[in-house]
């Protein structure tokens, strides 16, 4: 009998302990839930909105940029030296390597485009100058694009590019000359004549220009103006037999 009483007391004691623990745990949970509700209510009352933060792209270190700039300058100097030594392939490789380091270095792109233009790769030069003009409105880019078109026989496009160059630099006689020459190639003689006349007023000793002007006037049927252009050439080159023959032929006409 005593054994049963002891056993019963032990069981009741264990149950009491578990009951107290459960009660405490329940109260703790309730307190936690209440505290969370209070916090959410405070946020709502303040009208707070939790926004997702945008993580920006890491900026390139100024030190890295300076190192890259130094690399580009070094490669460009090497490329220019290679060009001076007529090592065209090496110069091209070095310019491309510089653009790999800094792809948007416009001056290097322009140098590479000019390299293509002067080495018979006008189609590549055209593509590069067209891309450059999307970022910089430079008169030399328009002029060189015109030359790239002209060398490829795209005379209408050449006229357009040269016109853009002339619009931006009307005081330079070479702009008028280039456009006039392209107009002749495109069979636009009426437009070419005044352009060449304007250029010849500043480039009065350029016999190639005067010869081009004379041919333009002949195409237009203006023999008197063509004769005047040939006489100007004859004064500069009195021993030019071809010009003398043309003057004789015009006098007989």
pLDDT of 34: 55
Question: Which one is predicted more confidently, 211 or 23?
Answer: 211
Split at pLDDT 50, 70, 90, the class of 76 is very high
Split at pLDDT 50, 70, 90, the class of 1 is very low
Q: Say if pTM beats, i.e. exceeds, 0.75.
A: no
pLDDT of 219: 96
pLDDT of 58: 44
Alpha helices per DSSP H over the chain: 2-46, 62-84, 88-101, 106-118, 122-132, 139-151, 155-168, 173-185, 189-202, 207-220, 223-236, 241-252
In degrees, to the nearest 5, what angle opens at C-alpha 147 toward C-alphas 145 and 152? 100
Split at pLDDT 50, 70, 90, the class of 239 is very high
């Amino acid at each position: 009998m005593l054994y049963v009483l002891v056993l019963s007391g032990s069981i009741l004691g264990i149950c009491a302990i578990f009951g107290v623990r459960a009660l405490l745990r329940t109260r703790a949970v309730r307190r936690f839930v209440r505290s969370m509700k209070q916090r959410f209510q405070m946020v709502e009352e303040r009208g707070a909105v939790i926004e997702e933060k945008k993580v920006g792209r890491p900026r390139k270190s100024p030190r890295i940029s300076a190192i890259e700039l130094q690399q580009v300058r070094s490669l460009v100097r090497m490329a220019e030296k290679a060009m001076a030594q007529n090592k065209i392939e090496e110069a091209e490789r070095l310019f491309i390597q510089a653009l790999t380091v800094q792809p948007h270095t416009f001056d290097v792109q322009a140098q590479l485009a000019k390299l293509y233009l002067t080495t018979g790769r006008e189609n590549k030069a055209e593509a590069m100058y067209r891309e450059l003009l999307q970022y910089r409105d430079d008169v030399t880019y328009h002029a060189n694009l015109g030359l790239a078109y002209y060398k490829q026989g795209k005379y209408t496009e050449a006229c357009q590019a040269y016109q853009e160059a002339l619009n931006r630099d009307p005081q330079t006689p070479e702009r008028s000359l280039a456009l006039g020459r392209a107009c002749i190639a495109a069979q636009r003689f009426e437009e070419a004549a005044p352009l060449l006349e304007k250029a010849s007023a500043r480039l009065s000793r350029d016999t190639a220009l005067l010869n081009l002007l004379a041919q333009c006037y002949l195409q237009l049927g203006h023999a008197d103006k063509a004769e005047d252009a040939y006489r100007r050439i004859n004064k500069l080159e009195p021993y030019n037999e071809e010009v003398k023959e043309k003057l004789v032929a015009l006098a007989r006409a």
